[in-house]
Amino acid sequence: MCLDEPPVVANVGVGIHGPAGHTDVFRLPDLWQLHLYRYETDLTVDGTPHIIRPGRVSLVPPATTVRYRYRGRSEPPANPPVAYGV
């Protein structure tokens, strides 16, 4: 990856996924994936499982298969905190 220039943002959005047990599997051949989570989910990245909780971040390189298994509807909490500690 060349970082002579800042990266170009291809898409920004807030997704609502679910219900519990629903699974999404995808692979973006040319794009990095940066996700900021406000919900719990099970994430598998090229076969390696990760437990995602609110306040976590994932950064996935291009051409990597990701699988999300949702624990429920993934909408933000009704009263979200202003900032998450890292």
Q: Looking at residue 13, what is its pLDDT? A: 85
Does this model's pTM top 0.85? My answer is no
Give me the number of domains the chain comprises: 1
Structural domain including 33 reads: 24-70
Question: Is 57 within a domain?
Answer: yes
Question: Is 64 within a domain?
Answer: yes
Question: Is 31 within a domain?
Answer: yes
Instruction: Report d(CA 62, CA 51) in Å as an integer.
Output: 21
Question: Is 9 within a domain?
Answer: no
Question: Is 2 within a domain?
Answer: no
Computed over every residue of the chain, the mean pLDDT equals 85
| Predicted confidence band of residue 5 (pLDDT cuts 50, 70, 90) | confident
| Residue at token pair 């890292």 | 86
Q: Which residues of 38-70 are buried (b: 16+ CB within 10 A; e: fewer)?
A: bbebebebeeeeeebeeebeeebeeeeebbbeb
